[in-house]
Homo-oligomer: A and B are copies of this chain.
């Protein structure tokens, strides 16, 4: 057996991220064996047929057995249930990691089920290229950030192994606290998605003929602002609900900004936008 980064890796959830990870592990020979765990039998079959996994199980407990690394790549809302299911079947000294865009809630959900000899290394790969690349592109994580938010008792060795894995995938690694992570990504990602869904909800409430014309004349700015609402609704519902506090905080700030602009328009305040420009970092 040649010296690989891991002997046996289990990937639970074979969606876009899970299958991209499998493809990179195969292509870069980072493990001796890849196990797919997915409750959907069609996805398990596909993972085998595309040779992205050596074995595939709909029984998730089965899928983690004897694995050195378990990667949870499932919606945030499913993490708690899956953690409870796999917990008794984890290999001694195994490492668990995840790919969720929310961290505090995930850590809370997982922590109570993790055996003391298992290390959990929470991770969040930031993918900007979902719309630009196909799922078979090996460059999907190239030059993107992977944020790692270790727990107080996570062993350094485990953090290093997970970091090295993401480094091999092409990501740049950054370590930060789960609290800080959730605050930053509430702003850069979760709020923009919530705005996009709100915009789509607004359009949905208009009359049919107006909606047809909006589709006809929708310019780039409109498309840009609504694009995020075409994302998977289950994944995003779970993100919103699992980063509730930080998201509601920044949403309140945003609503205040919107209200102050609304008032400025009502009062014909001709300096309103100049004021924003002056107070803003030019990079934003």
**Interfacial residues, chain A to chain B (CB-CB below 8 A):** 77, 126, 128, 131, 145, 147, 183-185, 187-189, 191-206, 210-211, 213-215, 217-222, 224-229, 233-234, 236-237, 240-241, 244, 247-248, 250-251, 253-258, 260-262, 265-266, 268, 270, 272-274, 276-277, 279-281, 283-284
Contact = CB atoms under 8 A, between A and B. Distances in A.
A222 B191 CA distance: 9
Nearest to A283: B215
Contacts of A77: 270
B195 A258 contact: yes
Given A189-B219, A202-B253, 19 more contacts: A183-B210, A184-B210, A184-B213, A187-B203, A188-B221, A189-B222, A195-B225, A197-B261, A198-B258, A198-B261, A202-B250, A204-B281, A204-B284, A214-B284, A221-B228, A233-B273, A233-B274, A234-B273, A255-B255
Given A266-B244, A281-B211, A261 B201 contact: yes
Given A228-B225, A248-B266, A201 B276 contact: yes
B265 A248 contact: yes
A229 B274 CA distance: 11
Given A205-B253, A227-B221, A251-B262, A200 B145 contact: no
Instruction: State how many copies of this chain the complex holds.
Output: 2
Contacts of A224: 192, 224-225, 227-228
Given A194-B258, A201-B257, A217-B126, A284 B187 contact: no
A132 to B, nearest CB: 9
Contacts of A234: 273
A258 B261 contact: no
Nearest to A208: B281
22 contacts: A145-B217, A184-B213, A188-B218, A191-B199, A194-B261, A196-B225, A197-B276, A198-B257, A198-B258, A201-B261, A202-B250, A202-B257, A224-B227, A225-B225, A225-B228, A229-B276, A233-B273, A234-B273, A240-B273, A244-B268, A247-B265, A251-B258
A266 B69 CA distance: 35
B221 A260 contact: no
A240 B221 contact: no
Contact of A276 (B183, B200, B218): B200
A39 to B, nearest CB: 18
Nearest to A265: B240
Contacts of A236: 273
